[in-house]
Structure 1
Amino acid sequence: MFKKLKKIFVSNEKKQEEPNPNNSKEKELKESSIKRQVDANISLLKEIYNVPENLDVKFRNVTVGGSSQKCCLIFISTISNVPMLEDNVIKPLVNNKEQQKRVPHILTVSNIRYAADFKTALLEINRGNAILIADGEDTAFIIESANFKSRGIEQVQNEVIVKGPKEAFTESAGTNISLLRKRLKNENMVVESVKISERSGNEVAMLYVKNLANEQLIGKVRNRLQSLSADAIQNLPLLEQYLEDRKISLFPTILYTERPDRAASFIEDGHIVLVMDNSPDSLIMPATFWSFFHTPEEHYLRFPFGNFTRALRITALFISIFASAIYVAITNYHSEMIPADLLLAIASTRERVPFPIIVEILMMEMAFELIREAGLRVPSPIGPTIGIVGALILGQAAVEANIISPVVIIVVALGGLTSFAVSDISLNFTVRLTRFLFILASGAFGIYGMTAFFIVGIFYMVSISSFGVPYLSPMSPKYKSSNDTIFRRLLENEKFRPGYLKPKDIKKKGNEA
């Protein structure tokens, strides 16, 4: 019986592994060259696009006035600018009077490119451009007519600031590149396109300043993009998971931002920015720990105000990570560190609670995370209600039922509240997860367990790199830079670009005396 089942499974696997003859035929058609006969090209393209079943793929036959040359315009109506094609392609061809004039010279479009094979022509059609094939021509004329629908430029949703620009990226790569070029009026800024998937033909735009960015870094990012093997990568959050060095690490190594001003500032320092259709954001690489910790507003505010917000964020970061863990460690192992009156108050609140302190903390931490997640997923008008019901009513009910002590609710609420001060999404998840690890370490070994785990964490952060750049640089190892790490400097004292990027020009010329 087992042998029969094995034969069935093996035969099924062999059938699945056998190449599909239809796929090989389609591949052969796509790799063929453009023919001089219009009718032969039309029949082949109709076969590839499954016309007439495929409704939005249009074939517009045109006879050139004057020469009576047969032409055909092929485009996808839902992603192409049809009025532009009508005005600048079809009307000039029909109204032409000169017999000897070639098709490219008749068209009134701004730019015409050429395709010698169907593979190139199909790629352009799928991008929203139109292809014009003419009788007697062995190349197709590519007419730029892409017109993808997208929402307009709106305000930033996640990286909200009070002082500074409010524009955010959209799902259109062209719009996002325009927002960056508006801020970087530099002829050396390069927008390089790289194809990253085979079946869906997804492309990513790689932006950098040619006379600033390190060539080895550009080559490393380009090679990693070109080496991807995937059928489809639809947006940047998916691409980020393909590109990162350590895929299961808690610490992010690629910076995600939806702010054009932030991306532009990194490009000016010699970083590389990735922009892609379907993604209202950008990826910045390489990224250090400090780039996740900083926010754009700290430089928009005056020097004392910016550093004040950084001090608040540092304090919030440590409170969020260590508050619950310190409470568990002190009450379980180091009660002598607490004043006698406070110790008696804590003991009295826990007199009727049946659970150990670590179980209380973990229960409340998990409840807080559930409330936060529920508030994000429900419709926006209900979100605040979920927070109020979960935090106030359930918390009060748990205290009155002697399931949780009031001090635990205070400690957990303080840690959860301070975690919102960490604005970066990836670093925020890191803080939330490491908080649970510190709670377990303190529950097992007290302050000594927390200290040991913290040291191991620092060792681990030192070992991380992002595209060859050490994670804690320029602090460790030390590099020549503006030292914008824990606290920012006066703007006129930020004279250098980050040395760990090895830029071609490390000094900011605007700061020269």
Structure 2
Amino acid sequence: MLRDMLKLFKKQQNKKSPQGQQSVGEQSELKEKELTHDLQSNLTILKKLYSIPDNKDVKLRELYLEGLDKQAAIIFISTITDIKSIEEHILKPLTENTSGKKQIKDIVSVQLVHDNFYFKDAVKEINKGNAVLLIDGEARAYVMDCPDFQSRAIEKPDNEILIKGPKEAFIEKAVTNISLLRKKIRNENLMVEAVEISQRSHNDVFIVYIRGLANEKLVSNIKKRLGRLEVNSIQNLSLLEEYIEERSYSLFPSILSSERPDRAASFLEDGYIVLLMDNSPDSLILPATFWSFFHSPEDHYLRFVYANFTRALRMVAMFITVFTSAIYVAITTYHAEMIPPDLLLAIASSREKVPFPAVIEILIMEAAFELIREAGLRVPSPIGPTIGIVGALILGQAAVQANIISPIVIIVVALGGLSSFAVSDISLNFAVRLIRFVFIFSAAMLGIYGMTAIFVAGLFYMVSLKSFGVPYLAPMSPSYKSSKDTIFRKIIKNEKLRPGFLKPADMQKKSDEA
């Protein structure tokens, strides 16, 4: 009985599937057709493609043009089109026109009007928020530029917070983001090119670079990578990043993400390439080196001494995050002779009642710290800081009183956890936090020798990494002709060269006399 029911179900599915495939095939066939001179036949095809009148936000308005003595129709999607612009700049001029000699482009007053001759092109323009005008007797579609996608206003950055510097951030509208860049770079050579990357959603990626400055081979390489993507849908830059990066499984990020227009503009002026996309409140900057993630946008807004002081603090904080817990495990487990006798006795007395070895203590507290950090991020903002503070205090105090964790472990883990917040870039922050666990396990197995081996192997690995052909540790290794902006920066007036590893068309940022 069950087998008969399964066979019947399979037959029904087989009967249904050809029909589904046929409907999709019919749609693709209709899109490939050319527009005809007959208005009603064109409208019939468009009604089929957009399922009119079932599709409620797709509007079709038929009208008679007295001046041209012709029937016409305008079709648009009301939720993504500027209705006021259609009424004032398209419908009103068309209905009030009395001259039969004027062209459509001379009658309407929208910013941009162009012709399309295939249904697939007309449909693509309608989906972009434009209005399409069809006229009886003409085998073309007039595309009127009037998109109006909803978006939020320009706000302050959430992740890259600065004390000094501009307070603008990118939003989810690519047109607005491009305007923020053009406000900072008023140059006719600032190029904005679009590449369609998704076959079903038809999302565009905007490639922004300065012509005559960016390396043409690098630009063409990025265009080829984007053009080779065969994906149904890529909605934002965070998803696109995984498709175009060279080593998807690497712990170290190879593409820099920034939500600050001023930072993106400074990279553009050095010869980098910026990617923008609708639905993404940030930009992708490529190629990226390790130093791009280490630097903060505020480094060049602060005075020379202050900026280098904060960079030194950031580098120290990074080493504390990676090595503090591992050093504690290595010394207490294998190298007790390295600790002064008084401190050794204090550590031994604090760990006297603790039943776990040092590595288990560290792992328990590291995992608890990560859980508290994650919980503080995911809960609503008014509760998040409270959970972090109260959770850390209660868990730490209770663990010490229950003799599960020794007090010195609380200090070690808290020091490493707090230092990790000094790494501002979220991708590098995750990398540092994960590498910390690698060093803890190496210290538990081989002590300082294991940590040294992992550190040397990690350096070899970082040297082997490349981002779009650029070595990851450049210009430190290998050495390139540049302003040497690595751990410390120079005075701004002495930064006269652009990064040599980008091979820009113009290496000179400032003249020698400046």
Give TM-score scaled by structure 1 length: 0.97
User: Kindly tell me: are residues 397 and 494 of structure 1, through their superposed partners in 2, closer, same or farther at Cα, counting changes over 3 Å?
Assistant: same
| CA positional deviation for 1:166 | 1.1
Could you say which residue in structure 2 is the equivalent of 1:267? Answer: 268
Which one-letter code corresponds to 1:371 in the other structure? Answer: I
**What secondary structure, in the 3-state scheme, does the structure 2 residue paired with 1:434 have?**
helix
Counterpart contact for 1:131–1:143, Cα < 8 Å: yes
Which one-letter code corresponds to 2:385 in the other structure? Answer: P
User: Kindly tell me: are residues 511 and 294 of structure 1, through their superposed partners in 2, closer, same or farther at Cα, counting changes over 3 Å?
Assistant: farther
The whole-number CA distance in structure 2 between the counterparts of 1:182 and 1:102 is 35
**What secondary structure, in the 3-state scheme, does the structure 2 residue paired with 1:370 have?**
helix
| CA positional deviation for 1:123 | 0.6
1:62-211 equivalences in 2 (<5 Å): 62-211=63-212
User: Kindly tell me: are residues 436 and 15 of structure 1, through their superposed partners in 2, closer, same or farther at Cα, counting changes over 3 Å?
Assistant: farther
Could you say which residue in structure 2 is the equivalent of 1:378? Answer: 379
Q: Percent identity?
A: 60
Q: CA RMSD in A?
A: 2.0
| CA positional deviation for 1:15 | 8.6
1:129-162: per-residue Cα shift (whole Å, max 9, x none)? 1101111111111110000010000001001111
Counterpart contact for 2:110–2:146, Cα < 8 Å: no
Counterpart contact for 1:492–1:511, Cα < 8 Å: no
| CA positional deviation for 1:404 | 0.4
Could you say which residue in structure 2 is the equivalent of 1:318? Answer: 319
Counterpart contact for 1:63–1:70, Cα < 8 Å: yes
Counterpart contact for 1:285–1:467, Cα < 8 Å: yes
| CA positional deviation for 1:104 | 2.4
Counterpart contact for 1:62–1:90, Cα < 8 Å: no
User: Kindly tell me: are residues 257 and 16 of structure 1, through their superposed partners in 2, closer, same or farther at Cα, counting changes over 3 Å?
Assistant: farther
The whole-number CA distance in structure 2 between the counterparts of 1:352 and 1:499 is 58
Structure 2: gaps spanning 5 or more residues: none
Could you say which residue in structure 1 is the equivalent of 2:222? Answer: 221
| CA positional deviation for 1:11 | 9.3
User: Kindly tell me: are residues 435 and 125 of structure 1, through their superposed partners in 2, closer, same or farther at Cα, counting changes over 3 Å?
Assistant: same
Could you say which residue in structure 1 is the equivalent of 2:499? Answer: 498
Counterpart contact for 1:62–1:93, Cα < 8 Å: no
User: Kindly tell me: are residues 13 and 190 of structure 1, through their superposed partners in 2, closer, same or farther at Cα, counting changes over 3 Å?
Assistant: farther
Which one-letter code corresponds to 1:288 in the other structure? Answer: T
Which one-letter code corresponds to 2:347 in the other structure? Answer: I
The whole-number CA distance in structure 1 between the counterparts of 2:468 and 2:11 is 44
Which one-letter code corresponds to 2:186 in the other structure? Answer: K
Which one-letter code corresponds to 1:264 in the other structure? Answer: A
User: Kindly tell me: are residues 429 and 13 of structure 1, through their superposed partners in 2, closer, same or farther at Cα, counting changes over 3 Å?
Assistant: farther
**What secondary structure, in the 3-state scheme, does the structure 2 residue paired with 1:323 have?**
helix
1:205-231: per-residue Cα shift (whole Å, max 9, x none)? 110001101011001100001111111
| CA positional deviation for 1:376 | 0.1
Counterpart contact for 2:497–2:510, Cα < 8 Å: no
User: Kindly tell me: are residues 335 and 506 of structure 1, through their superposed partners in 2, closer, same or farther at Cα, counting changes over 3 Å?
Assistant: same
1:49-91: per-residue Cα shift (whole Å, max 9, x none)? 0111100101111211223211111110110001111111111
User: Kindly tell me: are residues 12 and 263 of structure 1, through their superposed partners in 2, closer, same or farther at Cα, counting changes over 3 Å?
Assistant: farther
Which one-letter code corresponds to 1:439 in the other structure? Answer: I
User: Kindly tell me: are residues 221 and 8 of structure 1, through their superposed partners in 2, closer, same or farther at Cα, counting changes over 3 Å?
Assistant: farther
The whole-number CA distance in structure 1 between the counterparts of 2:17 and 2:44 is 31
Could you say which residue in structure 1 is the equivalent of 2:468? Answer: 467
The whole-number CA distance in structure 1 between the counterparts of 2:47 and 2:284 is 39
Counterpart contact for 1:88–1:108, Cα < 8 Å: yes
**What secondary structure, in the 3-state scheme, does the structure 2 residue paired with 1:73 have?**
strand
Which one-letter code corresponds to 2:482 in the other structure? Answer: S
Counterpart contact for 1:256–1:282, Cα < 8 Å: yes
The whole-number CA distance in structure 2 between the counterparts of 1:25 and 1:256 is 41
Counterpart contact for 1:328–1:358, Cα < 8 Å: yes
1:252-299: per-residue Cα shift (whole Å, max 9, x none)? 000001010000000001110001110100000000000000011111
1:415-449: per-residue Cα shift (whole Å, max 9, x none)? 00000000000000000000000000000000000
Counterpart contact for 1:63–1:93, Cα < 8 Å: no
Structure 1: gaps spanning 5 or more residues: none
The whole-number CA distance in structure 2 between the counterparts of 1:274 and 1:384 is 34
| CA positional deviation for 1:106 | 1.4
User: Kindly tell me: are residues 78 and 359 of structure 1, through their superposed partners in 2, closer, same or farther at Cα, counting changes over 3 Å?
Assistant: same
Which one-letter code corresponds to 2:405 in the other structure? Answer: I
1:290-318: per-residue Cα shift (whole Å, max 9, x none)? 00000111110000000000000000000
Which one-letter code corresponds to 2:345 in the other structure? Answer: L
Which one-letter code corresponds to 1:402 in the other structure? Answer: N
| CA positional deviation for 1:17 | 9.0
**What secondary structure, in the 3-state scheme, does the structure 1 residue paired with 2:60 have?**
strand
The whole-number CA distance in structure 1 between the counterparts of 2:469 and 2:213 is 17
1:477-505: per-residue Cα shift (whole Å, max 9, x none)? 11000000010001111110000000000
Counterpart contact for 1:329–1:443, Cα < 8 Å: yes
Which one-letter code corresponds to 2:340 in the other structure? Answer: P
Which one-letter code corresponds to 2:261 in the other structure? Answer: P
Which one-letter code corresponds to 1:58 in the other structure? Answer: K
Give TM-score scaled by structure 2 length: 0.96
* Mean CA deviation greater in 385-394 or 465-474: 385-394
* Mean CA deviation greater in 93-102 or 142-151: 93-102
User: Kindly tell me: are residues 217 and 15 of structure 1, through their superposed partners in 2, closer, same or farther at Cα, counting changes over 3 Å?
Assistant: farther
The whole-number CA distance in structure 2 between the counterparts of 1:142 and 1:194 is 20
The whole-number CA distance in structure 1 between the counterparts of 2:192 and 2:150 is 22
Which one-letter code corresponds to 1:442 in the other structure? Answer: A
| CA positional deviation for 1:110 | 2.2
The whole-number CA distance in structure 2 between the counterparts of 1:489 and 1:10 is 72
